[in-house]
Chain A
């Protein structure tokens, strides 16, 4: 257990009759970037809040940095960083004053505080704006500053709850660069996202859906397990009609595939029998494109399986 930064067993949280988190198990190794994935309302934030000691579990246990989260102490809180989904900085204060507050809150003073503040200001690229009130800054900068504030005390573990929601793609990529840098210096990172392209950058991921942990592993393991084979992509004139048609062809056995998903204007057909599927699709739609399945394919397949097992309940909005 000592190698785990986070070790969760049967963690459950109910709100009245509603089970937000249903007996989940997972572990995050020290130094790992762990992606915590799932649609909105699936239980990600509830789990994080339990792991931070903000919410008491209804059942099960969790150890974070060796501490039982039911007894989260100040010593424990001093070792973790948290960047919440909500805006966590004080918008009326300046960049420098926000960082000074965060630093002092974690017991940084004097020269050490100055060093760490400069480090974060540089990290966020806000050298010219240290005396600017936060509310005058734009999205990408704020995101980097919020991350910087969450790591000003060099935590061993950071929780990032949808850090890139609503941030442009370039800023998102810069942000992930930062995460890798942190990870390389030994920081354990648990990050939630619903951007599947981001999730592929994680060393390991966990899928949570309707409170259930439906898969945990490295992205390639999960893809291998859930969506073996390859993806044949076609671009029919009417993608929706084509998806329905191919689904029935798959069910009748006419098409040797195990998944037909809509991807915008394209249709992804998952198969292990690449040759015959490709031949079939070529005949109907002409050009086909071949690719490896992505985490998104796996996620869709997992959600379908879960819904099927639950009698086809719809995905919550």
Chain B
């Protein structure tokens, strides 16, 4: 039994070693991808272009515009004469936020009022627009308190809600994206390798030979799974190393716990890969299946769209996607320092999905010989 599994795994590793393309692409591609993401998401969202329609043209309105421009988030790009011109700029993507200061703004402020300022935001750039709006509202509020009520921040801040950000104290995007992206990278490469394991034999005509050898189905499947597991585990360690040591995402929980769960997670994903491999006649077919399923995974993972905001049916379905659980686990362990007492439902889900895939795979292995 063990000897047979090792024999298959040994052969698979030989194939990988002879392949001068796959592993270099995985290693270099994986590192490059993660570095790009780190670089792209490491910066805060700032310098959002803002257009201003100043119908008042008073010292007070100019003070407000300066205050907005002084923030890191917003940059005063242009002053235009009408709201229509703001729309024009938005269509050409030259503005994400429009600020319309009404006539009589200066006079109202002088009279001790806080007149309404109109904000127009470009919803097509949803992420930037939300950020710009939030910042502008805050600045307009503070400006009003200062100019209309002559209050300093210390005078009114005690009345504002107190915000404490836990786990990602500075709301760094990298802390959110990097653990997730490294999860995607090491899982997708593992699934690709696994999906090639049997389709390669099919394509080259060696599959029948394998089928007439005195192997148990489970021995072939486990043997075929071992090589992708080794590669996947190495990639996991490399990606985690980069995320923590090169890109500064904290690792607050137990590394051993995450490693053990990572192995379970990889096993589930890899069984899926082997199953796709059995269902395909060629390596190309297997790869296409991997990509189609990767897109589904991406959507259900909760990475791009929060699972809690999805309709109930989709939310239920997303429970069958291992990466959804993995993302919760990896954030839980790395950022929140939580353990099995909190994460066990997700670990159990991953384990169950893996067992289901393995069972289907084992039952399908011999059937597909025609």
Q: Do A and B actually bind?
A: yes
Q: Which A residues contact B (CB, under 8 angstroms)?
A: 49, 52-55, 74-75, 77-78, 80, 82, 84, 86-93, 97, 101-102, 104-107, 109, 133
A55 CA / B369 CA spacing, docked (Å):
8
Most B CB within 10 A of own CB, among A74, A80, A88, A105: A105
CB proximity of B88 to chain A, nearest CB, Å: 61
CB of B4 within 8 Å of the partner chain: yes
Instruction: Determine the chain A residues whose CB is within 8 A of the CB of B4 once the complex forms.
Output: 104-105
Q: List 10 A-B contacts (CB under 8 A).
A: A52-B212, A53-B212, A55-B370, A90-B206, A92-B14, A92-B15, A101-B10, A104-B3, A105-B214, A107-B214
Would A82 and B214 count as touching, CB distance under 8 A? no
Which of the residues A88, A109, A133 comes within 8 Å of B205, measured between beta carbons? A88
Would A109 and B14 count as touching, CB distance under 8 A? no
When C-beta atoms are compared, the residue in chain A nearest to B220 turns out to be A105
Instruction: Determine the chain B residues whose CB is within 8 A of the CB of A91 once the complex forms.
Output: 204
A87 CA / B11 CA spacing, docked (Å):
17
CB proximity of A115 to chain B, nearest CB, Å: 18
Question: Taking A49-B369, A54-B369 as contacts, is the C-beta distance between A133 and B211 under 8 angstroms?
Answer: no
Instruction: Determine the chain A residues whose CB is within 8 A of the CB of B7 once the complex forms.
Output: 101, 104-105
CB of B141 within 8 Å of the partner chain: no
Cβ proximity bits B194-230 to A, threshold 8 Å, 1 near / 0 not: 0000000000111011011111100000000000000
Instruction: Count CB-based A-B contacts (< 8 Å).
Output: 69
Identify 16 new A-B residue pairs, CB closer than 8 A, beyond the known A54-B212, A84-B205, A101-B11. Answer: A54-B211, A55-B369, A74-B214, A75-B214, A80-B212, A84-B209, A87-B204, A89-B206, A90-B15, A90-B204, A97-B11, A97-B14, A105-B215, A106-B213, A106-B214, A109-B3
Q: Which of B349-370 contact A (CB under 8 A)?
A: 369-370
Instruction: Determine the chain B residues whose CB is within 8 A of the CB of A80 once the complex forms.
Output: 212
Would A78 and B209 count as touching, CB distance under 8 A? no
Would A78 and B214 count as touching, CB distance under 8 A? yes
CB of B18 within 8 Å of the partner chain: yes
Q: Is the interface of B mostly helix, strand, loop or mixed?
A: helix
CB proximity of B6 to chain A, nearest CB, Å: 8
CB proximity of A96 to chain B, nearest CB, Å: 11
Cβ proximity bits B14-25 to A, threshold 8 Å, 1 near / 0 not: 110011000000
Question: Taking A77-B213, A106-B214 as contacts, is the C-beta distance between A84 and B11 under 8 angstroms?
Answer: no
A82 CA / B206 CA spacing, docked (Å):
11
8 interchain residue pairs of minimum CB distance: A86-B205, A74-B214, A88-B209, A104-B7, A78-B214, A77-B214, A92-B18, A105-B213
Instruction: Determine the chain A residues whose CB is within 8 A of the CB of B208 once the complex forms.
Output: 49, 54, 82, 84, 86, 88
A78 CA / B7 CA spacing, docked (Å):
16
A24 CA / B3 CA spacing, docked (Å):
40
A107 CA / B18 CA spacing, docked (Å):
25
Instruction: Determine the chain A residues whose CB is within 8 A of the CB of B209 once the complex forms.
Output: 82, 84, 88
Cβ proximity bits B324-364 to A, threshold 8 Å, 1 near / 0 not: 00000000000000000000000000000000000000000
Would B15 and A82 count as touching, CB distance under 8 A? no
A86 CA / B19 CA spacing, docked (Å):
22
CB proximity of A315 to chain B, nearest CB, Å: 25
Instruction: Determine the chain B residues whose CB is within 8 A of the CB of A104 once the complex forms.
Output: 3-4, 7
Instruction: Determine the chain B residues whose CB is within 8 A of the CB of A97 once the complex forms.
Output: 11, 14
Instruction: Determine the chain A residues whose CB is within 8 A of the CB of B215 once the complex forms.
Output: 74, 105
Q: Which of B171-210 contact A (CB under 8 A)?
A: 204-206, 208-209
A222 CA / B273 CA spacing, docked (Å):
53
A49 CA / B369 CA spacing, docked (Å):
10
A77 CA / B216 CA spacing, docked (Å):
11
When C-beta atoms are compared, the residue in chain B nearest to A79 turns out to be B214
CB proximity of B202 to chain A, nearest CB, Å: 10
A82 CA / B209 CA spacing, docked (Å):
7
A106 CA / B208 CA spacing, docked (Å):
15
CB proximity of B261 to chain A, nearest CB, Å: 33
CB proximity of B25 to chain A, nearest CB, Å: 17
A107 CA / B219 CA spacing, docked (Å):
13
When C-beta atoms are compared, the residue in chain A nearest to B7 turns out to be A104
Q: Which of B78-111 contact A (CB under 8 A)?
A: none
A89 CA / B7 CA spacing, docked (Å):
15
A87 CA / B19 CA spacing, docked (Å):
19
A93 CA / B215 CA spacing, docked (Å):
21
Would A133 and B212 count as touching, CB distance under 8 A? no
A77 CA / B10 CA spacing, docked (Å):
22
A105 CA / B120 CA spacing, docked (Å):
71
Q: Which of B1-48 contact A (CB under 8 A)?
A: 3-4, 7, 10-11, 14-15, 18-19
Instruction: Determine the chain A residues whose CB is within 8 A of the CB of B11 once the complex forms.
Output: 90, 93, 97, 101
Q: Which of B137-154 contact A (CB under 8 A)?
A: none
CB proximity of B203 to chain A, nearest CB, Å: 11
A88 CA / B208 CA spacing, docked (Å):
8
Instruction: Determine the chain A residues whose CB is within 8 A of the CB of B216 once the complex forms.
Output: 74
A107 CA / B208 CA spacing, docked (Å):
19
When C-beta atoms are compared, the residue in chain B nearest to A88 turns out to be B209
A106 CA / B210 CA spacing, docked (Å):
11
When C-beta atoms are compared, the residue in chain A nearest to B213 turns out to be A105
A86 CA / B202 CA spacing, docked (Å):
11
Instruction: Determine the chain B residues whose CB is within 8 A of the CB of A90 once the complex forms.
Output: 11, 15, 204, 206
CB proximity of A113 to chain B, nearest CB, Å: 11
Instruction: Determine the chain A residues whose CB is within 8 A of the CB of B3 once the complex forms.
Output: 104, 107, 109
Q: Which of B118-135 contact A (CB under 8 A)?
A: none
A90 CA / B206 CA spacing, docked (Å):
7
Instruction: Determine the chain A residues whose CB is within 8 A of the CB of B205 once the complex forms.
Output: 84, 86-88
CB proximity of B186 to chain A, nearest CB, Å: 25
Would A93 and B14 count as touching, CB distance under 8 A? yes
Would B206 and A88 count as touching, CB distance under 8 A? yes
Instruction: Determine the chain B residues whose CB is within 8 A of the CB of A75 once the complex forms.
Output: 214
